[in-house]
Structure 1
Amino acid sequence: MVAAYFLIPMLMHDYAGNVDARLVHADSLELQIALLAYAECYARLTQRGRTSGTYTRCNIANEPTLDEMSFGRWARYRRHALGLTRADVAARAGMAQSNLAAIDAGRRSAEPRTVARLRATLSARPSILFDRNRAAILDAARRHRVTNGRVFGSVARGEDRPCASDVDLLVELPKDDAAAAYLESADEAARILTVPVDVVPDRGSRADRVLTAARREAAAL
C-alpha cells in the first residue's frame, strides 16, 4: 500500500469548533478510503449550507458522539454493547456496584486506576462488538436510509484488535441528503459499538483501486 497525503477539512475534536484544514498522512487502505469519503461528504454539506465555521455535528436525540462521551457514559454504552449487567462489570472489575453506578450516571469521576481497571474489564475486539450488535447497526442503517451495508478492513479479515482497530463499513447512501446520512449513520454506529466507525460511500463514479480492493474483501452485514 502506497502512503498518501490528503489536505481536507477536519472537524475539531468536540465537533463544535472552527473547521481546520489539515494535511493528513494515510498509509492504510481503510484510512485512505475513509478520508476520501469524508472530504466528499463534507464538501457536499458545505455547498448545501449545512455547515460553517461553527458547524455542529448532527446526532440522534442529542446523544453525544463517541468523541464527546464522558468516560462514565462510554463505560455504560460499552457494557450494553457487550450484553453485561452492572453487577457483571463490577464483579469482574473488583469494585462496588454502587461506585460503578455513580460513574455510569456521571455523579462521580473515575480515578485513573479505576479507569484502567474498567477499560481492561470492558476490552473487546471490534468484531465481537459488531457481531453482538449487528441487528442494531442494521436498524440504524434503515433509519438513515443507508443500504447495501458491508464490512471490510481488519474486522472482515479477522485481524482486528482491542483498542487498535475501528469498524469500516461500505454502504450505499440515499441520493437526497446523502451527506447527512453519511455523517449521522457513522455517529450512530460508533455510539452503538463504542469504537470508531468509518462509513464509506460505494459510488461507481469513484471506482479506483482502493475502493475496488474494499469491495473485494467486503462481507454483507
Structure 2
Amino acid sequence: MNEIRALREPAGLSQSELAAKVGMSQPNISTYESGARIPGASTKSRIRAACRPRPGRLLSEHRRETRRLAAERKAHDPRAFGSVARGEDTAFSDLDLLVRFDDDACLFDLVGMTEALSGSGWTSSPRAAWPVGTVRYTARRSRSDGGRRRSRSSRGSHGA
C-alpha cells in the first residue's frame, strides 16, 4: 500500500479532507497515492502531521491499556491534565499524566511506566507515536504523620 494512503486511511480522512488539512488540492493527493508523482520531503512532513492523531484521542482509545501499564508499575488512578484535559491538544502535544504510586514504588517504577507508555502498542505505527511529556505524582504518607502529601522525588533524602 502507498505510504500516503497508509497514513490517511487509519486517520479516517478522505483525500479531500487530507488535501484541505495540508493546503493542497485533492488531485495532488490522488496522484501521490497512485504513484504518478512523488511528494517532496516537506509535503510528506505536512501529510504525516495532518494524519497524526491527538494524544487525547489515543488516550481515550487506549484507556484500559493505560491503566494496566500503570498498575503493573505500582501506579493507580492516572489522570490527564494540561492541553489533553482541556481538549486543546494537537497532534504535536505531549501527554501529561497525574498518577498515584504505591508507598513501596521507586524511581524505577516511574521510569518504567513512562517508558511503557511511550513505547506501548499505541506507538507501533509511526503516525501514532507521541511523547509522554510529564508524569506528576504524589504519595500519601502513613496516617501517623497526618496523611500529608509530599513529592516522591524528595523521598530518598528524607527516608520513609
Residue 137 of structure 1, aligned match among 66, 74, 88: 66
Superimposed CA distance per residue, residues 97-149 of structure 1 (whole angstroms, 9 cap, x where no aligned partner)? 9xxxxxxxxxxxxx724641541342222211211121221121122221121
TM-score normalised according to structure 1 size: 0.41
Long gaps (5+) in structure 2:
19-28, 35-39, 124-128, 140-148, 152-160
2:88 partner SS:
coil
5+ residue gaps in structure 1?
A: 1-71, 73-78, 98-110, 207-221
Structure-2 change in CA distance of 1:116 and 1:145 (3 Å): same
Tell me the distance in 2 between the aligned counterparts of 1:118 and 1:133: 24
Match of 1:147 among 55, 69, 76: 76
Task: Give the alignment's Cα RMSD to 1 decimal.
Answer: 3.7
Q: Which has the higher contact order (CA 8 A, sep 6+)?
A: 1
Deviations 1:17-63, CA, capped at 9 Å, x for gaps: xxxxxxxxxxxxxxxxxxxxxxxxxxxxxxxxxxxxxxxxxxxxxxx
Identity of aligned residues (%): 27
Which residue of structure 1 lines up, in the alignment, with residue 94 of structure 2? 166
Counterpart in the other structure of 2:118: 190
User: What is the match of residue 10 of structure 2?
Assistant: 84
Query: Could you tell me whether the CA contact under 8 Å between 1:149 and 1:172 is conserved in 2?
Result: yes
Aligned length: 115
Q: Secondary structure at the match of 1:130?
A: helix
Instruction: Find the structure with the greater CA-based Rg.
Output: 2
Q: 1:168 to 1:132 in 2, by over 3 A?
A: same
Q: What TM-score do you get using the length of structure 2 for normalisation? A: 0.54
Letter in 2 for 1:125: R
Give, in angstroms, the shift of residue 181 of structure 1.
1.0
CA distance in 2, matches of 1:172, 1:114: 42
Structure 1 stretches of 4+ with a deviation exceeding 6 A read: none
